[in-house]
């Protein structure tokens, strides 16, 4: 039962990440490869404010969302002016620069040793969320709320503006819409959500290492968005489920851990290429909203 709860906690965290990146990459068409940087900003903020300032839940989550959101606002301001593969490479450069910051700012982040001793949160009535089952009581509602927020934004007039920006930015500007402001706002919002996911990571694992937030997780989250169905309503759910359940499926064959890690990434890389080639709408392609 704890194993199932653990998988569902991972799924909840992944769902927040994929759904928020889907707003940026799928709905707005900005292929950002910097989402793990915002996840890391959120995780380190949560780790620092809980271990050094003694902040409790949900103040730590609010602080993480704020810091990651401000980071997203700043980076989104630059990224929204980039297009095509230069947007991908530009955000990728930012991702690695932020990773280097996590790795080398040892006084604050603990460097390669990471931050230890992040406490599990406490909720009224339930108390400390020590087991995966208890933690799921926090992670699942947060993930559902984040997913619902993303769907609501995607279906709102602002979401329609984002799709217009994705499909024809010149037309959006001709209609008097500020496409740069819209892209920057959605980038900051998605970064804030990634920061929320970072809080869950820090609080669940109790330990933060910079290698959790390097370039590869960013690429894999973007792959999950595309494989699930970029810009679709239920694509993030499909992408996140595949991302989390695939290694669990591979574990059934009794393979050693490192091999499972390699195989998961090979399958995900191959799925990304195959989807781009033959299934550009992704697994949830038919439910593409706005079409």
Partner 1 sequence: MAAGPILIGLAVLWLHRACGHLDVAIGAIAVMGAYLFAELLARTSFTMALVGAALASGVVMLTIFVAVYSPLRRRGAGSSTVLLASFGLYICLSNLVSLCTQDVAATPKLSEPPLFAVSGLTDGQVLLFSAAAAMTLLGEAVLRLTRTGLALRAVAENPDLATASGISARHVAVLAALGAGALAGIAGALTALDTGVVPSSGLGLMIAGAVAVIVAGLRSPLAVAGAALAVAALQQATVIWLEPQIKDGLTYLLLFAAIYWYRHRLVGATAG
* Contact footprint for partner 1 (CB under 8 A): 31, 33, 78, 81-90, 92-94, 96-97, 100-101, 103-104, 215-216, 219-220, 222-223, 226, 258-259, 262-263, 265-266, 268-273, 276-277
Q: How far is the CB of 236 from partner 1 (least distance, A)?
A: 17
Per the listing, tokens 């280097």 go with: 100
Q: How far is the CB of 63 from partner 1 (least distance, A)?
A: 24
DSSP strand pairing (115-116 vs 127-128): unpaired
The smaller minimum CB distance to partner 1, of residues 123 and 260, is found at 260
Q: How far is the CB of 97 from partner 1 (least distance, A)?
A: 4
**Buried/exposed code over 182-198 (b: 16+ C-beta within 10 A; e: otherwise):** bbbbbbbbbbbbbbbbb
Closest by alpha carbon to 60, among 209, 211, 201?
201
Angle, CA 117 vertex, CA 210 and CA 104 arms, to 5°: 25
Q: How far apart are the first and last CA of the chain?
A: 41
Q: How far is the CB of 40 from partner 1 (least distance, A)?
A: 14
Kind and range of the H or E run holding 106: helix 106-109
Token pair, residue 256, equals: 């050693």
The smaller minimum CB distance to partner 1, of residues 55 and 173, is found at 173
Q: How far is the CB of 85 from partner 1 (least distance, A)?
A: 4
Cβ-contact 221, 69 below 8 angstroms: no
Q: How far is the CB of 276 from partner 1 (least distance, A)?
A: 5
Helix (H, G, I), strand (E, B) or coil at 284: coil
Say how far apart CA 46 and CA 129 lie, in whole Å. 16
Helix (H, G, I), strand (E, B) or coil at 228: helix
Token pair, residue 291, equals: 């079409």
Q: How far is the CB of 280 from partner 1 (least distance, A)?
A: 8
């Amino acid at each position: 039962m704890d194993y199932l709860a653990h998988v569902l906690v991972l799924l909840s965290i992944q769902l927040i990440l994929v759904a928020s990146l889907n707003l940026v990459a799928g709905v707005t068409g900005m292929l950002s490869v910097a989402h793990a940087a915002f996840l890391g900003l959120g995780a380190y903020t949560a780790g620092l404010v809980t271990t050094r300032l003694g902040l409790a839940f949900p103040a730590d989550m609010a602080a993480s969302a704020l810091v990651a959101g401000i980071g997203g606002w700043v980076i989104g301001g630059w990224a929204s002016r980039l297009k095509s593969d230069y947007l991908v490479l530009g955000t990728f450069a930012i991702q690695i620069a932020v990773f280097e910051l996590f790795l080398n700012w040892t006084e604050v982040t603990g460097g390669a040793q990471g931050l230890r001793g992040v406490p599990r949160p406490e909720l009224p009535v339930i108390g400390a969320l020590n087991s995966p089952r208890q933690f799921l009581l926090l992670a699942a509602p947060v993930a559902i709320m984040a997913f619902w927020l993303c769907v609501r934004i995607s279906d709102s007039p602002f979401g329609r503006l984002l799709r217009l920006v994705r499909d024809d930015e010149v037309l959006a500007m001709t209609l008097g819409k500020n496409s740069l402001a819209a892209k920057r706002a959605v980038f900051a919002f998605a970064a804030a959500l990634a920061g929320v996911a970072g809080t869950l990571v820090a609080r669940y694992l109790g330990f933060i290492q910079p290698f959790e937030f390097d370039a590869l997780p960013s690429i894999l989250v973007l792959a999950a968005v595309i494989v699930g169905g970029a810009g679709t309503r239920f694509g993030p759910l499909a992408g996140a489920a595949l991302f989390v359940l695939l290694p669990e499926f591979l574990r059934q064959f009794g393979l050693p851990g490192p091999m499972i890690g390699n195989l998961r990434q090979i399958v995900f890389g191959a799925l990304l290429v195959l989807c781009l080639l033959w299934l550009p709408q992704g697994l949830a392609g038919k439910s593409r909203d706005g079409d």
